Amino acid sequence: MHFFDRLADRIATADSVVSVGLDPDPDRLPDSVLDADLPRWQFNRRIIDATHEHAACYKPNAAFYEDPDGWRALEETIAYAHGKDVPVLLDAKRGDIGNTARQYARILDDEEGPAADAITVNPFLGRDSLEPFLQRADKGVFVLGRTSNPGGEDLQDLELASGEKLYERVVHLADLWNGNGNVGLVVGATNPDELEEIRELVPDIPFLVPGVGAQGGDAEAAVEHGLADGVGLVNSSRGIIFAGEDADTRRDDSGDAFFKAAGQSAKQLKQRLNQFR
Would you say 146 and 152 are in contact if contact means Cβ atoms under 8 Å apart? yes
- Judged by DSSP in three states, 37 sits in coil
Query: DSSP labels for 42-58?
Result: HHHHHHHHHHGGG-SEE
**DSSP class of 85:** T
Q: How many CB atoms lie within 10 A of CB 99?
A: 9
Would you say 223 and 277 are in contact if contact means Cβ atoms under 8 Å apart? yes
Residues 6+ apart with CB under 8 A from 271: none
267 is annotated as an active-site residue: no
Between the alpha carbon of residue 10 and those of residues 5, 57, 226, the distances in Å are 9, 8, 17
- From the list 59, 93, 139, 270, the catalytic residue is 93
Point out the residues that are catalytic. 93
